[in-house]
Amino acid sequence: MSTIPAVLLLGYGKMGGAMLEGWRKLGLAPSFAIDPALPPSPGAELSVVASAAEIPSDFKPQAVILAVKPQMADAALPTIARFDGAVMLSIMAGRTIAGLSAALPGSPIVRAMPNTPAAIGQGFTVACAGPGVSQSQRNLCQRLLESVGEVDWVEDEALIDPVTAVSGGGPAYVFLLAELLEAAAVEQGIPPALARRMARRTVSGSGALLAASVDDAAQLRRNVTSPKGTTEQALAVMMAEDAWPATISRAIAAATRRSRELAG
């Protein structure tokens, strides 16, 4: 039995594909995905086509998920304007509700920013509903998004830009930490294979501990830091005024600016 109604996925990339897998696990009504880079693939549950022109005229999705790259949106959005009875759920970075509404007049828009842990059902998404989105459409978007992780909503759309910088890009920053820990371990003479396993497991295990703990991150950090010990020495370097605190602040500000620039 299908618990997710018919949807149209515009852009079958990593994030769109991750969300689709979550919907399939819940039971997906016959749906379509548009991606000209993929070979056509008809199916009972999902049919992949190269363009909207190949979708039967009697197909009426309840939601259209806008998952193309922001730079491709201007060319792609007019092709799905005929599905104006559906709520448009955008996961494109930077593209504003007003800009999407101009390209898709009459369509209700929900703007959301998920992140890549959605691929294993551990994503985090922040969403914002535009004018004209009904409660039932908002509920549908909630179901679509929470199939791959946790969901929260904001009323102020401007917050989606820093959300994109922190949560959307956050997995890349964590992966960079794992890279740097691995490289530093090798510098200290640890064999490369052991360095990689140690760095990856340290990052993933620490994340799991953070998720399971009632303590905040600062307290967990203090719990690991013995006075005059080795961790305190490392943190003195990382937490210097011109080190991690300033670098992270500048990095998030840069990513937030870029998100706003993508709105065009």
Nearest Cα neighbor of 48 from 83, 16, 90, 92 is 16
Q: What integer pLDDT is reported at residue 145 of this predicted model? A: 95
Q: Which residue has the tokens 């509404």?
A: 101
The answer to whether the beta carbons of residues 181 and 203 sit under 8 Å apart is yes
Residues counted in the chain: 264
Cα–Cα distance measured from residue 52 to residue 204, given in angstroms and rounded to the nearest whole number: 41
Q: What integer pLDDT is reported at residue 1 of this predicted model? A: 53
Q: What integer pLDDT is reported at residue 36 of this predicted model? A: 87
Please give the average pLDDT of every successive group of 10 residues along the chain, which has 264 residues. 86 87 89 89 87 94 94 90 94 92 94 92 96 96 94 97 95 97 98 98 97 97 96 96 95 94 76
Nearest Cα neighbor of 129 from 152, 107, 153 is 153
Q: What integer pLDDT is reported at residue 43 of this predicted model? A: 79
Determine the 3-state secondary structure of 126 from DSSP.
strand
Cα–Cα distance measured from residue 157 to residue 44, given in angstroms and rounded to the nearest whole number: 37
Nearest Cα neighbor of 129 from 73, 87, 99 is 87
Q: What integer pLDDT is reported at residue 2 of this predicted model? A: 62
Parallel/antiparallel/unpaired status of strands 63-66 and 7-10: parallel
* Architecture of the domain made up of 7-157: 3-Layer(aba) Sandwich (3.40)
Cα–Cα distance measured from residue 27 to residue 60, given in angstroms and rounded to the nearest whole number: 18
The answer to whether the beta carbons of residues 172 and 203 sit under 8 Å apart is no
Domain boundary assignment for the chain: 7-157, 170-261
What would the two tokens of residue 181 be? 């820990």
Q: Which residue has the tokens 């949807």?
A: 7
Residue type, 31: S
Q: What integer pLDDT is reported at residue 70 of this predicted model? A: 86
Q: CATH topology for 170-261? A: ProC C-terminal domain-like fold (1.10.3730)
Nearest Cα neighbor of 168 from 156, 159, 180, 155 is 159
pTM (global) more than 0.75: yes
The answer to whether the beta carbons of residues 182 and 204 sit under 8 Å apart is no
The DSSP output letter for 13 is S
Measured at the alpha carbon of residue 251, what is the angle toward residues 177 and 149, in degrees to the nearest 5? 65
- Cα 182 to Cα 173, 208, 230, 251: the distances in Å are 14, 19, 18, 22
